[in-house]
């Protein structure tokens, strides 16, 4: 395993995150540091999320995408980035990996962090501070998603502790930045992708935020680019999540950790379903590099950084249609 030409995605056994053994945590951090630095992707195993819950979310996802176009379009993305996105509605023009001109071949349903009607951010009309949308035809979706988000947010918070130790920081260093985290659960449906140059289920890109935790079905299609430029398959592993470092964490680490390019090509001839969960800091978080060789890089306000990317990449926000 090298930083330039890894050939497979490594595993991180996170069982120590659920215990009180500080020495085990430090040993885990020591073993993970090179993975985050050189690869930026890993399979997370021995977490506490039941596979049955993951499967229930996948079943709900399949049922949602089986609704009629009229029922899905009734939940079209609102200005708070919550709801249904039709196929061909996002093109990742902000990618630094490739010049993407064709829209992603997927449809999706986006759920963000829940906010009460009297939440101060919601009352103030702040960006992304609004209601989720739910299909009346599928009453079980909301409760299933809420249960899943609670569980995977708990895992994500534990992973922030591990990441802090990997950076030689106090275990709770990131906690203040995630008191009101920005979270996205994106249910995705990828129809089979025609063999066409520049056409992808998800075009080459890096993720915007802190970390992503992906549950994928049994079809495969996710590929990760190593530093030699080779695309390495990340096939499904039962009971695991695929975790990747995203751009804000790479910036926070001063470039020490790798936000690694990835893409999805659904060449299976069947419908592919996945459910990435994006765990990001609060919108007001000020991100200053704390390690690496880029500690003089500018401080970034996460909310400003995020909104710039959403505005450029999603047609419902006024982004131009792909050519």
pLDDT reading at 322 higher than 80? no
Task: Average the pLDDT over 182-192 and give the result.
Answer: 94
pLDDT-derived band at 4 (thresholds 50, 70, 90) equals low
Per-residue pLDDT of 226-259, as tens digits, reads 989 999 999 999 999 999 999 999 999 999 999 9
pLDDT reading at 3 higher than 50? no
pLDDT of the residue at 110? 97
Task: Average the pLDDT over 96-108 and give the result.
Answer: 71
Per-residue pLDDT of 307-319, as tens digits, reads 998 888 777 777 5
pLDDT of the residue at 182? 97
Q: Mean pLDDT over all residues of the chain? A: 91
pLDDT of the residue at 124? 95
Tell me which of 33-42, 138-147, 178-187, 264-273 is least confident.
264-273
Percent of the chain with pLDDT over 90: 79
Percent of the chain with pLDDT over 70: 92
Task: Average the pLDDT over 59-87 and give the result.
Answer: 96
Task: Average the pLDDT over 91-120 and give the result.
Answer: 79
Per-residue pLDDT of 288-308, as tens digits, reads 999 877 778 889 999 999 999
Task: Convert the chain into a string of H (helix), E (strand) and C (coil).
Answer: CCCCCCCCCCEEECHHHHCCCHHHHHHHHHHHHHHHHHCCEEEEECCCCCHHHHHHHHHHHHHHHCCCHHHHHCCECCCCCCEEECCCCECCCCCCCCCCCCCCCCEEEEEECCCCCCCHHHHCCCCCCCCCCCCCCCCHHHHHHHHHHHHHHHHHHHHHHHHHHHCCCCCCCCHHHHCCCEEEEEEEEECCCCCCCCCCCEEEECCCCCEEEEEECCCCCEEEECCCCCEEECCCCCCCEEEEECHHHHHHCCCCCCCCCEEECCCCCCCEEEEEEEEECCCCCEECCCCCCCCCCCCEEHHHHHHHHHHHHEHHHCCCCCC
pLDDT of the residue at 204? 87
Domains, in order of start, for the chain: 11-317 (2.60.120.330)
Per-residue pLDDT of 121-156, as tens digits, reads 999 999 999 999 999 999 999 999 999 999 999 999
pLDDT of the residue at 122? 94
pLDDT of the residue at 198? 65
pLDDT of the residue at 101? 57
pLDDT of the residue at 96? 62
């Amino acid at each position: 395993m090298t930083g330039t030409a890894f050939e497979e995605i490594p595993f991180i056994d996170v069982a120590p995150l659920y215990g009180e053994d500080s020495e085990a945590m430090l040993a885990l951090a020591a073993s993970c540091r090179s993975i985050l630095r050189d690869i930026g992707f890993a399979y997370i195993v021995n977490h506490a999320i039941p596979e049955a819950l993951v499967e229930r979310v996948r079943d709900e996802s399949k049922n949602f995408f089986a609704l009629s176009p009229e029922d899905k379009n009734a939940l079209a993305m609102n200005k708070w980035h919550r709801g249904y996105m039709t196929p061909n509605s996002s093109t990742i023009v902000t990618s630094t990996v490739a010049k993407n001109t064709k829209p992603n071949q997927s449809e999706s349903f986006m759920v963000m962090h829940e906010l009460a009607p009297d939440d101060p951010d919601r009352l103030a009309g702040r960006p992304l501070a609004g209601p989720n949308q739910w299909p009346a035809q599928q009453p079980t979706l909301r409760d299933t998603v809420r249960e899943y988000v609670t569980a995977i947010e708990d895992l994500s918070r534990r992973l922030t502790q591990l990441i802090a130790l990997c950076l030689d920081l106090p275990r709770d260093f990131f906690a203040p930045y995630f008191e009101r985290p920005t979270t996205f659960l994106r249910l995705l449906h990828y129809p089979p992708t025609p063999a066409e140059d520049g056409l992808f289920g998800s075009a080459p890109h890096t993720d915007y935020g802190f970390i992503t935790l992906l549950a994928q079905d049994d079809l495969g299609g996710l590929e990760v680019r190593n530093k030699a430029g080779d695309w390495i398959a990340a096939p499904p592993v039962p009971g695991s999540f695929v975790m990747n470092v995203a751009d804000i964490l790479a910036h926070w680490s001063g470039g020490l950790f790798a936000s690694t390019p990835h893409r999805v090509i659904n060449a299976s001839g069947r419908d592919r379903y996945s459910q990435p969960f994006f765990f990001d800091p609060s919108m007001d978080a000020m991100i200053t590099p704390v390690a690496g060789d880029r500690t003089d890089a500018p401080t970034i306000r996460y909310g400003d950084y995020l909104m710039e990317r959403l505005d450029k990449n999603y047609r419902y926000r006024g982004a131009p249609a792909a050519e």
